[in-house]
Amino acid sequence: MSDTPLVRLDGAGKSYGNVIALRDVDLEASPGEVTCVLGDNGAGKSTLIKIVAGLHRHDTGTYTVQGEEVAFSSPREALDLGIATVYQDLAVVPLMPVWRNFFLGSEKRRRLGRLDIPFMRATTRDELHAMGIDLRDVDRPIGTLSGGERQCVAIARAVYFGAKALVLDEPTAALGVKQAGVVLRYIVQARERGLAVIFITHNPHHAYPVGDRFLILDRGRSIGYHTKDEISRDELTGLMAGGAELEQLAHELERGLRKE
């Protein structure tokens, strides 16, 4: 762990027209650490990611990468500084073969601009195999893979291309228990390789086992920013669910059930 965090937001904010999507949020992610960002739908998680990934520029506050202030105008710029983002729904191009997806945007070329196809096929197969995905045919359209497999391809891709920071947007959201486990295991692997991981999720049970820091967002604001030793799983779950609201909900549901 180094002293300056790899990625750091101070008082970052973003508004779309007169809608304030994010206000005054702090975040840091250091190598070998997993920073979890938790929040319900509409809490501002995706805005936060888009700022970190370079898709949108922040309006207020500062964004520093390795101590240098940045303002990205495209994801490419973020990528060049080693910040790779894996999106929940737009991670891949479904109709394209797995290996083309794996190298998309960072194609390996030989002389005359020719693609080095054998290398890319073999590398894709090896990298996926190392992750525990056994693909018979890397020429298959990636759309034919399962959701978890697709996430893993995207994560493996980011790691292979030398990402220093990995931003994961709800990688476990659409997955079954077993597949989510595979993805969580890979998050830990990425951390152990010395990457700074920013893991966005709404599931505290996925976040707590792998996370080192936890940022909880609600309606565009931070409602808690804790290291693992400051907070227990139950506290995190409570914060995440908005404590009192959850009790209220449980109460209502029980009453509803009794009526029927």
Partner 1 sequence: MTTPAVAAAPDERLARRSPLRRLLGRPELGALLGAVALFVFFSLAADAFLRTGSFSTVLYASSTFGIMAVGVSLLMIGGEFDLSAGVMVTTSALVTALTAYQLTLNLWVGAAISLAVTLALGLLNGLLCVRTRLPSFIVTLATFFMLAGLNLGVTKAVTGNVASDSVRDMDGFDSARAVFASDLAVGGVTVDVTVLWWLLLVAAATWLLLRTRAGNWIFAVGGAADSARAVGVPVARTKIALFMGVAFCAWLSGMHLVFAFATVQSGEGVGNEFYYIICAVIGGCLLTGGYGSAIGAAVGAFIFGMTNKGIVYAEWNPDWFKFFLGAMLLIATVVNLVVRRRVERSS
The site for partner 1, by CB under 8 A, has a size of 37
Contacts with partner 1, 90-109, as mask; x by CB under 8 A = xxxxxxx---x--xxxxx-x
Give the orientation angle of helix 147-160 with respect to helix 117-130, to 10 degrees: 110
Phi, then psi, of 30 in degrees rounded to 5: -115, 155
Q: Is residue 76 within the footprint of partner 1 (CB under 8 A)?
A: yes
Q: State the nearest-atom distance from the C-beta of 90 to partner 1, in Å.
A: 4
Among 69, 137, 230, 234, binds partner 1 (CB under 8 A): 137
Among 18, 41, 114, 260, binds partner 1 (CB under 8 A): 114
Q: Which stretch binds partner 1 (CB under 8 A): 21-29, 35-43, 75-83, 218-226?
A: 75-83
Q: State the nearest-atom distance from the C-beta of 116 to partner 1, in Å.
A: 10
Within 10 angstroms of residue 137's Cβ, the number of other Cβ atoms is 11
Q: State the nearest-atom distance from the C-beta of 92 to partner 1, in Å.
A: 6
**Cα separation of 186 and 54, whole Å?**
24
Q: Is residue 72 within the footprint of partner 1 (CB under 8 A)?
A: no
Q: Is residue 132 within the footprint of partner 1 (CB under 8 A)?
A: yes
Geometric angle at alpha carbon 155, from 152 and 156, rounded to 5°: 85
**Cα separation of 150 and 140, whole Å?**
12
Nearer residue to partner 1 within complex by CB, 24 or 161: 161
Q: Within 13 Å, how many C-alpha atoms sit on residue 98's CB side?
A: 25
Location of structure tokens 């940022």: 215
Q: Is residue 43 within the footprint of partner 1 (CB under 8 A)?
A: no
